[in-house]
Amino acid sequence: MDVNIYRVPMSGPEDVSGLKKLVDSGEIKPEEIVAVLGKTEGNGCVNDFTRGYATQSFKLYLSRELDKSMDEIGETVAFVMSGGTEGVMSPHATIFTKKQIEAEEKDEKSLALSVGFTKEFLPEEMGRMEMVKEVKRVVLELMKETGIENKEDVHFVQIKTPLLTSDRINDAYSRGKDVAVEDTYKSMGYTRGASALGVALALGEIEESKVTNDSILHDWNLYSNIASTSAGVELLNCEIILLGNSKKSVSKYRIGHSVMKDSIDLEAVIESMNDAGLEVDKLPTEEQKSRIVNILAKAEASPDGYVRDRRTTMLTDSDINHTRQARSVVNAVISSIVGDPMVYVSGGAEHQGPAGGGPIATIIEK
């Protein structure tokens, strides 16, 4: 297997020119694209339509390029658009290509990935055990498909989940069902949390018996160190991208990860670089920075409102949603270290890393 990564800036949710340029120049073969991971400039909350708009735009472009219907494109490529580019975060897309090639297994492990989809969820299943179990099932399949035997070699599992809307909630009620939560904004936390717990179960990070409907969004001791989940109104199933290192890959890239204990955990950023193989002394050098392809991180407000024993106002600010603020903070910390604000930070880290913190992964050129 060979895996390549390309990071392109976007001038708006509809801007596919970065990808087009790479395709036109022959650098990317569009049929090898397996995933597009985007940061789009909406509010990252319920009514963020930039995710759907970017997805529609990328599908439309690839549909023409590959002469397939947009639905067919959607069945083979995972489009995970994460909304919210607060602070200095720069809108962009990370494009993953993959091709099967004949090659001997190597000693050194390299970047490998697989993409998969769960079934579509009913409103009453969202943010509940049905979602947890279905995500677990697909993650285990994807590990096998990626040729990763050792769970330690999985470094990042990115999931796009659906959320509840007023219409979906009314639909469940009309069929005599209830839902995990009535607040549509809050439902994003439930679906993000449930799918993260699915990853944690798949990778044996937590005990199966401890996960119930009641523990979702309540027992913060249950979490995955490598799940990164993001909710969007534009889908009904989960789209999953599993990233790890494998001897079966000949990619020139490698991935490592760490866990931020809170949103200003500078040390964890460095650790994820070192885990990928950079050997950083306190802060990366210019040469080391230039080898970083992208950093993928999750951000969330601390549930008790405190960071390093200091009161913050993210949770009591009724004008700006706390996920918007958390993204801005984590992106700023990472940007200041790598000297580039075009890194991927996604908001809402429920059951992803410890409360108030979140997973972080670094992909480097070897």
- Residues annotated catalytic, as ranges: 160, 230
For residues 261 and 125, the answer to whether their CB atoms sit within 8 Å is no
How many CB atoms lie under 10 A from the CB of residue 66?
16
Q: Does 346 bind its own copies (CB under 8 A)?
A: no
Of 154, 20, 160, 156, whose CA–CA distance to 95 is shortest? 20
**Alpha carbons within 13 A on the beta-carbon side of 101:** 15
Q: Does 311 bind its own copies (CB under 8 A)?
A: yes
Secondary structure (H, E, C), 181-215: CCCHHHHHHHHHHHHHHHHHHHCCCCCHHHCCCCC
Q: Does 290 bind its own copies (CB under 8 A)?
A: no
Q: Does 273 bind its own copies (CB under 8 A)?
A: no
Q: Does 279 bind its own copies (CB under 8 A)?
A: no
The DSSP H or E segment spanning 97 is: strand 92-99
State whether the Cα torsion 15-19-25-26 is positive or negative: negative
Selected from 114, 118, 272, 325, the binder of its own copies by CB under 8 A is 325
Q: Is 192 annotated as a binding residue?
A: yes
Number of residues that bind its own copies (CB under 8 A): 79
Q: Is 339 annotated as a binding residue?
A: no
d(CA 276, CA 253): 9
Selected from 60, 122, 129, 236, the binder of its own copies by CB under 8 A is 60
Q: Does 310 bind its own copies (CB under 8 A)?
A: yes
By CB under 8 A, the residues from 85 to 104 that bind its own copies are 85-91
Locate 233 and state its tokens. 């109104």
Stretch that binds its own copies, among 24-32, 103-111, 148-156, 309-317 (CB under 8 A): 309-317
Q: Is 82 annotated as a binding residue?
A: yes
Letter for the amino acid at 175? R
Q: Does 288 bind its own copies (CB under 8 A)?
A: no
Q: Is 347 annotated as a binding residue?
A: yes
d(CA 302, CA 307): 7
Q: Residue 203: CB partners within 8 Å, gap ≥ 6?
A: 139, 151, 154, 224, 226
Q: Does 348 bind its own copies (CB under 8 A)?
A: no
* CB of 8 or CB of 78, closer to its own copies: 8
By CB under 8 A, the residues from 68 to 87 that bind its own copies are 85-87
Q: Does 278 bind its own copies (CB under 8 A)?
A: no
Q: Does 285 bind its own copies (CB under 8 A)?
A: no
Which strands form 292-299's sheet, in the order they lie side by side?
A: 253-260, 358-365, 292-299, 344-347
By CB under 8 A, the residues from 141 to 200 that bind its own copies are 165-167, 169-170, 182-186
Q: x/- binding map, residues 213-242, to its own copies, per CB under 8 A?
A: --------------------xx--------
Q: Is 305 annotated as a binding residue?
A: no
d(CA 258, CA 241): 18
By CB under 8 A, the residues from 29 to 48 that bind its own copies are 41-43, 45-48
Q: Does 364 bind its own copies (CB under 8 A)?
A: no
* Residue ranges of the binding site for Mg(2+): 300, 349, 352-354, 357
